[in-house]
Amino acid sequence: MSDDLLATARSIIERARPREEVEAFLLHQREFSVKTFAGEIDSLSSAEPRGAGVRVITEGRVGFAYSTQLGDADLDALVELARANASSATADEAVALPTEGGGSEQLDELIDPAQEQVTPDDKATFALKLERLTREADPRVRNVEEAVYSDSDSTIAIASSNGIEGSYRRTDAWCYSIAIATEGDDTEVGFEFDLARGMAGLSAPDVARKGAERACRVLGASKIASARMPIVFDPYTAAQFLGVLGHALTGESVQKGRSLFAGKLDGSVAAAGLSLVDDGRARGAPGASPWDAEGVATRRTQVISDGVLTSLLYDTISARRDGRQSTGSATRAGFKSAPGPAPSNLAFEPTGRSRDEVIAQAGRALLVQDFHGVHSGANPVSGDFSVGVTGTLIEDGTAGAPVKEVTIALPMLEILGNIEAVADDRRWLPFGGSFGGATTLVSEMTVGGA
């Protein structure tokens, strides 16, 4: 599969004219998904999508086009369309393809070799078991909205007229279940999931138990009075917070003045002792790859170091604009979009305490397990952060009354300044990227309640 794909990529770049840079990105996937409801298979889905995305650069103008049809005439039309698009773009000397690729590099851990032996029946059995275990995890779970197992086997190939060339394969598997728990008049929902390179790496019992716990823990929740108080993010909400920050940490968003970090490079942006790292090769993380979406080798980038913003995340064009090197941070949403910079696997470095120690340190605090309305309430441009939350009150290190229908708010730079501890319980969560969430203590935020 990878040889064919690379051959197609090569044949696309052979269509380059003199003084043109051409890049071809190809993706070929096999996908499978099974969803269960009420102890039965609700739906099965399988597919084998593939396609190509092409960038053509002429005299500093870049155009992009994609196609799912890869015959000779289709490829001629594809390159021609990208070329025509380039002629509408504004010339910009920063616009160029990378000249140094990491195409020959491989990451061995991206494939679970056992996954090829897993049959569709095995996968359906897994999903049915996940649903059953979720329902049985707690008597208050009255329904499981759905249990899902999905996987994909992807081959990615790239070639450019600058000599970049490579292909790699990865396998991914993930599962989730949604528990609906009821007690008295109150209903709560608990979503939990797991991801790995193959089905063998997924734990249905853990997902079932944690999902039921997430729903049952907040049954009977009520508002608390408005106050300023310490907030503890659990790994879920900590990862979602990183997801918002991630948008603002790219060179492109800062250069264009649409980041809360604009003008802050080399300045203090977070509490002393706090460090934030983006690691394109983090082992087992969903965003790991040998090279990025334009073929540049991935690496580890220290974004915040002891509270100071030390680097942004760059693709080739944004790096050239700042006179820097790409950090291997180009990403794409499949072959239908041109690359742009984004975090790969972004996480705070742990500050040396366990989850229990961090919770004990918090005193009387609100432990937040779910954010509501993040995409409207958190603004990576202005830094405003005001979201609805569900969680539990913690007092003297133990979890107490469940809380809902309250909001927490504070500008994001102040939240970063108030982070006192990051526990060692990191897990990778795919919230519009790959973010490492760990139990995180913020010394004070505004709670809006009754």
Partner 1 sequence: MLDRDTIGKVLAEALRKGGDLAEIYVEDRSSSAYRLEDGRVEDVAAGRDRGAGIRVISGDRASFAYTNLLEEAALLRAAEAARAGLEGASAPPPADLTEVEAGPRHPAKVDPTSVPAADKVAGLQAADEAARSAGAEVRQVIAGYADVRQRLLVARSDGAFAEDDRTRVRFSVQVVAARNGTITTGFEAPGHSGGYELLEARPPAEIAARAAEKALRMLDAKPSPAGEFPVVLAPGTGGVLIHEACGHGLEADTLVKDASVYAGRKGERFGGETITIVDDGTVPSSWGSFSVDDEGTPAQETVLFENGVLVGHMSDLRSARKIGDAPTGNGRRQSYAHVPAVRMSNTNLLPGPDDPNEMIRSVKRGVYASQFAGGEVNPATGNFVFGMSEAYMIEDGEITYPIRGANLIGNGPKMLGVIDAIGHDFMFWEGVCGKDGQHAPVTTGMATVLLGTITVGGTEA
Segment 341-370, which members bind partner 1 (CB under 8 A)?
none
CB of 348 to partner 1, least distance (A): 24
**Rule CB under 8 A: is residue 146 a binding residue for partner 1?**
yes
Q: Of 3, 28, 26, which is closest to residue 75 (Cα–Cα)? A: 26
Q: How many whole angstroms separate alpha carbon 292 and alpha carbon 25? A: 11
- Using an 8 Å Cβ cutoff, are 183 and 220 in contact? yes
The 8-class DSSP code of residue 201 comes to: G
One-letter amino acid for residue 42 of the chain: D
Which range touches partner 1 (CB under 8 A), out of 127-135, 157-165, 335-343, 352-360?
A: 335-343
Q: Is the dihedral of CA 16, 10, 342, 316 positive or negative?
A: negative
Task: Please report, in angstroms and rounded to a whole number, the separation of the first and last CA atoms in the chain.
Answer: 59
Which range touches partner 1 (CB under 8 A), out of 85-93, 154-162, 167-175, 392-400?
85-93
Nearer to partner 1, 49 or 363 (CB): 49
* Residue 387 C-beta: closest distance to partner 1, Å: 7
Distance of closest approach, residue 277 Cβ to partner 1, in angstroms: 26
Number of residues that bind partner 1 (CB under 8 A): 84
Q: Look up residue 77 and give its amino acid.
A: A
- Which residue, 405 or 425, has its beta carbon nearer to partner 1? 405
Q: Is 379 in the site for partner 1 (CB under 8 A)?
A: yes
Residue among 124 and 308 whose Cβ is closer to partner 1:
124
C-alpha 222/C-alpha 160 separation (Å) is 58
Range in contact with partner 1 (rule: CB under 8 A) among 308-316, 377-385, 420-428, 434-442: 377-385
Shortest distance (Å) from residue 422 CB to partner 1: 24
Residues 114 and 148: beta-carbon distance below 8 Å:
no
Q: Which is nearer to partner 1, 64 or 348 (CB)?
A: 64
- Of 2, 106, 143, 162, the one binding partner 1 (CB under 8 A) is 143
Q: How far is the CB of 294 from partner 1 (least distance, A)?
A: 15
User: Exactly one of 3, 104, 120, 136 binds partner 1 (CB under 8 A); which one?
Assistant: 120
Q: Which of residues 387-406 bind partner 1 (CB under 8 A)?
A: 387-388, 404-406
Q: Detail the DSSP E strand segments found in 132-185.
A: 141-160, 165-183
Q: Which of residues 69 and 203 has its CB atom nearest to partner 1 in the complex?
A: 69
Q: Is 152 in the site for partner 1 (CB under 8 A)?
A: no
* Listed ranges 82-90, 204-212, 273-281, 289-297: which one lies at the site for partner 1 (CB under 8 A): 82-90
Region 406-445 residues binding partner 1, contact defined as CB under 8 A = 406-411
Our CA angle for 289, 295, 301, nearest 5°, is: 60
85 binds partner 1 (CB under 8 A): yes
Pick 82 or 441: Cβ nearer partner 1 = 82
User: Which residue type occupies 278?
Assistant: D
Interface with partner 1 (CB under 8 A), residue from 11, 305, 325, 386:
386
User: In 3D, which of 133, 223, 292, 234 has the Cα closest to residue 447?
Assistant: 223
Which among 65-73, 128-136, 232-240, 276-284 is the span making contact with partner 1, rule CB under 8 A? Answer: 65-73
- Give 102 or 433: the residue with its C-beta nearer to partner 1: 433
* CA distance linking residue 356 with residue 425, whole number of Å: 10
Residue 133 one-letter amino acid: L
- Cβ proximity to partner 1, 228 vs 283, nearer residue: 228
Q: How far is the CB of 415 from partner 1 (least distance, A)?
A: 12
From the list 366, 413, 357, 356, the residue with the least C-alpha distance to 392 is 366
In the bound state with partner 1, the residue whose beta carbon lies nearer, of 48 and 206, is 48
Closest to 241 in 3D by CA, of 420, 95, 10, 439: 439
Question: How far, in Å, CA of 37 to CA of 369, rounded?
Answer: 25
The single residue among 73, 88, 108, 184 that binds partner 1, judged by CB under 8 A, is 88
Closest among 228, 223, 225 to 410, alpha carbons compared: 228
Closest to 45 in 3D by CA, of 148, 116, 199, 146: 148
CB 412 within 8 A of CB 385: yes
> Of residues 278-297, which lie at the interface with partner 1 (CB under 8 A)?
none
Q: Find the binder of partner 1 among 9, 26, 57, 62 (CB under 8 A).
A: 62
What does the block give as tokens for 141? 């779970």
Task: For strands 227-233 and 365-372, give the pairing.
Answer: parallel
258 forms part of the interface with partner 1 (CB under 8 A): yes
How many Cβ atoms from other residues are within 10 Å of residue 205's Cβ?
Answer: 12
Contact segment (CB under 8 A) with partner 1 among 13-21, 80-88, 130-138, 204-212 equals 80-88
Q: Does 222 bind partner 1 (CB under 8 A)?
A: no
Beta-bridge partners for 73: none
Q: Is residue 334 close enough to count as binding partner 1 by CB under 8 A?
A: no
User: Please, which residues have CB within 8 angstroms of residue 333's CB and are 6 or more apart in sequence?
Assistant: none
* Residue of the chain from 7, 96, 107, 189 that contacts partner 1 (CB under 8 A): 189
